[in-house]
A and B are shown apart, each in its own frame.
Chain A
């Protein structure tokens, strides 16, 4: 496109053709040159207004002592970031975020692979099963957390009921660090496993059937086929799923908030306060300067993770070729 456009525009540039430009040709030229921009304009206008501008403005706010109800905003440079990086609660929230993220992501990925593999063969009522996979994802997160909070209840929870009926002591899920992380990870897995399974399934369907036929003739079991044929063939999709769920796990918010019955600290000991919840706690104190610094740190973390993912994916692509 880029090389062709000047050629087309060339004829009107001749001295004799100038008057003609006012007619249909002019409109045509405008159409060719301007309308692509007009097409993408809505997205970019919205992106600038609700994406780019807030990111920049947040950086500006983070350099100030800025509370919402105060009219004076004193410039303090990087003071907010200095306080933030020295705040042990910030690092605690970072640890919790990573821990919950890993705890939910690894089993989620394996489970999604397995489910997709099960559905990737001739099956009765195939569409029914595929739709079922998506159901947890369309359920409201509030409903999911409310139900799971009941299941993970200390005194009347389903899980503790099973545990105690075997004669063991019940677990105070909310009070421990690991136990609360497991509970929250379970909620995340419940919502996202099916969704990821569908994405993996789509990729699996693009794997040539001949490979499986050949593998079957060679006597490979279903599990071996999954390991040796399917996974290598859908590696880019697996990388995609990993990237989206890592970024998603940086933003875990509703689950810990609702699990703690709306306590912003995520437990008495902040044992399940994630970065987003830590941000929200400070935001609710109307301390906008400090909360902006937190959101910028989250942004930086996401950039780092995206960068690592990018490097890994590139290497994976190389190995496939």
Chain B
């Protein structure tokens, strides 16, 4: 008999509870107190400080944090990691909305230009005396950490991605080309000579292609020029910069001489091709050695020679401190510590991260390092030589997108048979549309 009222109460209660839970869930965001709002006074030394560090992979920072805590016993460090693209997209959102960013964030080379645009959203590390480190750095790497007008220092570089040319000695031998890495490097001091070597390779009539596709070569050539896709006022100058056109023409000649295997990086054919030997050379930033190894082509199958045109870089990271962080002093000190000479040497040994401080390139741990998987190639020397030889070039905000537009143009010539001149016009138009 007592059922009906109880049921009625339940009928009334359940939705009310649901509604109030919902309201609580929605209101939750507003009632969170601002973290560390009271800790403005940096003078009190014993005050505990919590720092978060946001990275896009394992940087092997763990032991370094412990080291840092010895001099900063009041600092507690938490690290969070996200997948590469997610990490950077999250950071854009966090910077735009002014909430949720970590105290120290890693920004990779492909994204640094985006954040230099909004330098005022980051702490100026000059205020914490870090401009004293300028003399230690590779010049171009240092420039990447400055705001557009150069007045603010928003980030300090960690590693760089020196550029080399990976090649397969077995396929070179079949085609009658030299196989020793020094002789191979001597084959192509310039990109034109690289194309000549390719023609010889093709003339020998082997089944494999000389290289994967022209896109990465084009990018490397443009990055070696004094001016790239942008001028210093952030205008896209693809159509008027003769160096871009020159790089394009060399890339087109690679296609027309059938040097290319018509492959796009990271497609299944490309990754399988690394192991199966469908192409004999590819442009190789330091980190691509890991990609090659993952495909298990076998020890000594791939070797590493110098990149034509003298030097180059792809990738590499900076550490930044978003302005929403409440402990800029400690964050700056942590950045300074993580990018210091000692730390960079440790990270080279632990994580194969190529240092961005040229004085380390003389260190035996870097200079004499050989990789047995690549026929004992002295990768420390090859990649740091490439990084040293690179001249600083101004990187515009959307260089990555311009590069995709240009690469697509080359792809259309190669894969859809578009006329090179038409492809050029379309690629330039596409690039200039990017804002």
B9 to A: closest C-beta gap in Å: 9
Query: Of A27, A68, A156, A267, which contacts B96 at CB under 8 A?
Result: A68
In the assembled complex, B15 has its CB within 8 A of some CB on chain A: yes
A277 to B: closest C-beta gap in Å: 13
Chain A residues positioned under 8 Å from B6 (CB to CB): none
In the assembled complex, A126 has its CB within 8 A of some CB on chain B: no
B416 touches A269 (CB 8 A): yes
Interface residues of A in 232-274 (CB under 8 A from B): 260-265, 267-271
A35 touches B11 (CB 8 A): yes
B16 touches A38 (CB 8 A): yes
Q: Given A27-B12, A42-B19, A269-B408, A153–B272 Cβ distance below 8 Å?
A: yes
Give the complex CA separation of A263 and B213 in angstroms: 15
B56 to A: closest C-beta gap in Å: 15
Interface string of B18-30 (1 = CB under 8 A from A): 1100100010000
Q: Which residue of A lies closest to B261 (CB)?
A: A155
In the assembled complex, A85 has its CB within 8 A of some CB on chain B: no
The main secondary structure of chain B at its interface with chain A is helix
Give the complex CA separation of A154 and B212 in angstroms: 14
In the assembled complex, B269 has its CB within 8 A of some CB on chain A: yes
Give the complex CA separation of A149 and B267 in angstroms: 8
A38 touches B416 (CB 8 A): no
In the assembled complex, B396 has its CB within 8 A of some CB on chain A: no
A38 touches B19 (CB 8 A): yes
In the assembled complex, A213 has its CB within 8 A of some CB on chain B: no
Q: Which residue of B lies closest to A68 (CB)?
A: B96
A69 touches B92 (CB 8 A): yes
B411 touches A285 (CB 8 A): no
A155 touches B18 (CB 8 A): no
A94 to B: closest C-beta gap in Å: 18
B408 touches A285 (CB 8 A): no
Query: Of A31, A41, A149, which contacts B11 at CB under 8 A?
Result: A31
Query: Of B12, B268, B276, B407, which contacts A35 at CB under 8 A?
Result: B12
Query: Of A35, A68, A156, A264, which contacts B404 at CB under 8 A?
Result: A264
Interface residues of A in 1-40 (CB under 8 A from B): 27-28, 30-31, 35, 38-39
In the assembled complex, A49 has its CB within 8 A of some CB on chain B: yes
B258 to A: closest C-beta gap in Å: 15
B409 to A: closest C-beta gap in Å: 8
Query: Of B12, B269, B416, which contacts A31 at CB under 8 A?
Result: B12
B412 touches A269 (CB 8 A): yes
The main secondary structure of chain A at its interface with chain B is loop
Give the complex CA separation of A94 and B414 in angstroms: 25
B306 to A: closest C-beta gap in Å: 28
In the assembled complex, B3 has its CB within 8 A of some CB on chain A: no
B269 touches A155 (CB 8 A): yes
In the assembled complex, A286 has its CB within 8 A of some CB on chain B: yes
In the assembled complex, B371 has its CB within 8 A of some CB on chain A: no
In the assembled complex, A117 has its CB within 8 A of some CB on chain B: no
Q: Given A35-B11, A41-B19, A45-B22, A174–B267 Cβ distance below 8 Å?
A: yes
A268 touches B415 (CB 8 A): yes
Give the complex CA separation of A69 and B267 in angstroms: 32
B44 to A: closest C-beta gap in Å: 34
A175 touches B266 (CB 8 A): no
Query: Of B262, B401, B414, B416, which contacts A285 at CB under 8 A?
Result: B401
Interface residues of A in 219-234 (CB under 8 A from B): none
A69 touches B118 (CB 8 A): yes
Q: Given A31-B11, A38-B19, A155–B272 Cβ distance below 8 Å?
A: yes
Give the complex CA separation of A38 and B12 in angstroms: 9
Chain A residues positioned under 8 Å from B273 (CB to CB): 155
Q: Given A41-B15, A42-B19, A69-B92, A156–B276 Cβ distance below 8 Å?
A: yes
B96 touches A261 (CB 8 A): no
B412 touches A268 (CB 8 A): yes
In the assembled complex, B435 has its CB within 8 A of some CB on chain A: yes
A285 touches B19 (CB 8 A): no
B269 touches A153 (CB 8 A): yes
Q: Given A68-B92, A264-B404, A285-B434, A35–B412 Cβ distance below 8 Å?
A: no
B: which residues have CB within 8 A of A?
8, 11-12, 15-16, 18-19, 22, 26, 89, 92-93, 95-96, 114, 117-118, 121, 262, 264-270, 272-273, 276, 278, 398, 401, 404, 407-412, 414-416, 418, 434-435
Identify 14 new A-B residue pairs, CB closer than 8 A, beyond the known A175-B416, A285-B398: A30-B12, A41-B15, A45-B19, A69-B96, A153-B268, A154-B269, A175-B415, A261-B268, A264-B404, A268-B408, A269-B418, A270-B408, A284-B89, A287-B435
